[in-house]
Amino acid sequence: MSQSLPGLNRYVIKSKLGEGGFGQVYYSWDRQLNRETAVKVLENNRLALTEAQILAGFDHPNIVKLYDVVSSGSALYLVMEFVPGPTLLEQKLDLDQILDVGIQCCEALDAVHQRGLVHLDVKPHNLLYDPKTNTCKLTDFGAAARRQLKDKQIVGTPKYIAPEQRQGQAVDARADLYALAKVLGELIEVNQISQVPGSLKKLLNEAGSADINQRPRTASELQRKLISVKAGWLADLRAERERLRRVKELVIDNYPLLTACFNALLAGAVLWTLWQQPVLRALDFYDPVFKQFMGPAAAVLVGFISPALACLLIAVLVLLPLWQVWPGLALVCGLILLILAGKIYRYPGLSLMIALTAVWMPGFPWLLPVLVGYFRSAGAAVGGGLALGFAAYFINCIQHTQAYQSLKFIPLGFDSALIAAEIYEVLGLGVDWLFDPSFGLTLQGVLMGLGARWIGSRGTLGMVLYLLSTAAAVFIIDPDLIWQWGGIMLILCGAIWVHDLFLEDEPTQQLQTRETEIVPNKF
């Protein structure tokens, strides 16, 4: 759209900005001065001329400037300053910006009231806010012009009109403060500001009170109170950020120690948990005191020094008694650990978590690969997910094997034929797992881990796509699993929040360097 209105050849109309009972407002271009303008088209009468005269009397940074007035037949054109940006209610504002809108509007209203005028139509559409410059400007003085002409007609939007104005009673500056309080409250609600200072709630309740005597008497008084509220809120915000900074520094400075403590507790929990399994619990290989206290304590101590060494200690303490009564199983487990020794040494923490999760949460094969995939790597998600799925299946099914049923829980001699039969039966569990429903769940966990790495970690949009796609897939495969999916996604989002809160801005190399001083292996 590019046209001229009758009698307004100097200004090229580009588009319509708004329309109402007052007339129309167009976005236009001043060809003579090469600048953007807004043209308000009114009926050419005394009311429109009075509005123009009121507007022309102001030269204020928070009141829209009047550049020109053109009369053409039945139309009166008010050429005004153009303020870019969408309407106030269409913008996404934070509390700081909302308070600035209120403070600047009070500045404009104070100038209006000092001239003996009352605006009487303060509402979001009449507050033009440019977020780039953080500037708010008051516009539309049609209602003020009616009052000046002694016109008794009540104009305005009902939810912003003060009770005394609505009832046709005498009004003063406090009618505008009532409307402004309602506007600020609406902006807080529309922008979903959850943490609103109590002082601001109290102030808006006072300014928006139906009792005129409870409102601030002047715009400058309301402005001072808003400035005070903002100063207090900013001080509280700075204090909160300072507390968070100190906690963050504490976490970062003690990151190696916290990691070592976590690995220590993890190692102790793994050893104690494995010793509670039926095969090992029935053995009298270790002294009860050592089994209940000294062994886990030793695992905790070694885990604090090195999680990789803790994995070796746990393997020895578990396989030694197992060799006495079930050498075939001990041999298979030993060979598996030997084959995976490089991976265990590289990811000892992950290896311990796989063992613990396989025993404690065998029905949740998704959580670990999702977390590992998001925070570590795709390879770790695949390896960890498959290892977790097989370990959980293995532990669950080992008690149903013929070898287990024939255990006498007494030391056995070396019988190669018996050991070979036991090994064959144990290895057969791996083949059976491929055809068990738990293998399908394991593959789903692996795919979710890969998705967390390749999609979910790519910003907000990636996370949204990841959540939607995984939810749809789970719902199609088995709707009963949607609750498990929801719990895992909540844990993932919580872990991301904690990570971003404490570790996102810290140099990764610094953390790794510090970690190697105590814990020489990655998680």
> Along the 523 residues of the chain, how does pLDDT read in single tens digits?
566 677 788 889 999 888 866 778 999 999 999 999 999 999 999 999 999 999 999 999 999 999 999 998 889 999 999 999 888 999 999 999 999 999 999 999 999 999 999 999 999 999 999 999 999 999 999 999 988 888 777 777 888 999 998 888 889 999 999 999 999 999 999 999 988 999 999 999 999 999 999 999 999 999 999 999 999 999 988 898 888 888 888 877 888 888 899 999 999 999 998 888 877 777 777 888 888 889 899 999 999 999 999 999 999 998 888 887 777 778 888 888 888 888 888 889 888 888 888 888 777 788 888 988 888 888 888 988 888 888 888 888 877 776 666 665 555 555 677 677 767 777 788 888 888 888 888 998 899 989 888 887 777 888 888 888 888 988 888 888 888 888 888 988 888 888 777 665 543 333 333 333 333 333 3
Looking at residue 18, what DSSP letter applies?
A: E
Please count the other Cβ atoms lying within 10 Å of the Cβ belonging to residue 418. Answer: 15
Q: Are 73 and 176 in contact (CB under 8 A)?
A: no
d(CA 8, CA 77): 8
d(CA 347, CA 271): 17
Q: Are 203 and 221 in contact (CB under 8 A)?
A: no
β-pair partners for 76: 42, 71
Q: Are 13 and 4 in contact (CB under 8 A)?
A: yes
Phi, psi of 347 (to 5 degrees): -125, 65
β-pair partners for 28: 13, 37
- Domains, the chain, in order of start with CATH, read 11-81 (3.30.200.20), 88-241 (1.10.510.10), 254-518 (no CATH)
d(CA 103, CA 87): 18
pTM to 2 decimals? 0.62
Looking at residue 294, what DSSP letter applies?
A: I
Q: Are 376 and 450 in contact (CB under 8 A)?
A: no
